[in-house]
Amino acid sequence: MVPGFLSGNKMLYEILMAFREASAQGHPDMKLLFAGEEREQEYRLSERINALWPTGIRPQVTGYLSAQDLDILLGRADLSLVLRFPTYGESSGILPRAAMGGGDVITVNIGAYPEFESAAVQTIPVGAGAVAALTDGLLRSHAQRGRGEARQSRQNKEATQAKALSPQALYPRLRQWLDDVWAMQ
């Protein structure tokens, strides 16, 4: 699944090429869902899909999704592709949400993206090797699909890590301090 707005910097061409290659390697059961609003002025995704898959089963584009609907899909996805190049220095709000779903996540190895540490997250290079690395990641994730217990374990581990990094855990006296400051006013 490719979550979020489908803009020109989401490496959509690379995703299509990698998916096409992975599917051609004997995995016709692989499915690709673009879960978000298409930005045709930046990248004509549906047009490219129709050209690459003139008949048969092809990648789907959902259109705009509410945050709740997107989170449901992130929780069900076996693999989320959170790719962006150039990154303009920002981080991704989708990346931790995808990792919390328990499925695999592939992201880029530049900017703030590789700073998110999780067993669920694999990084790939941008540039000439991106399609090959992405194809390899798709095939590896597909081979490991159906690991319900491993997925639940990963979701629990991600939730524990998130809780350990929460303000309440990092600053146990923060609530008391805030209450004290409020009482002084």
Neighbours of 104 (CB within 10 A): 26
Burial class (CB in 10 A: 0-12, 13-18, 19+), 164: exposed
Q: What is the mean pLDDT of the chain?
A: 86
Is the predicted pLDDT of residue 154 greater than 70, yes or no? no
Segment 6-20, tens digit of pLDDT: 998 999 999 999 999
pLDDT tens, residue by residue, 76-125: 898 999 999 988 766 668 888 888 877 899 999 998 888 888 888 999 99
Instruction: Specify whether the CB–CB gap between 42 and 84 falls below 8 A.
Output: no
pLDDT > 70? residue 166: yes
Residue range 17-26: average pLDDT? Answer: 92
Nearest Cα residue to 44 out of 7, 83, 1: 7
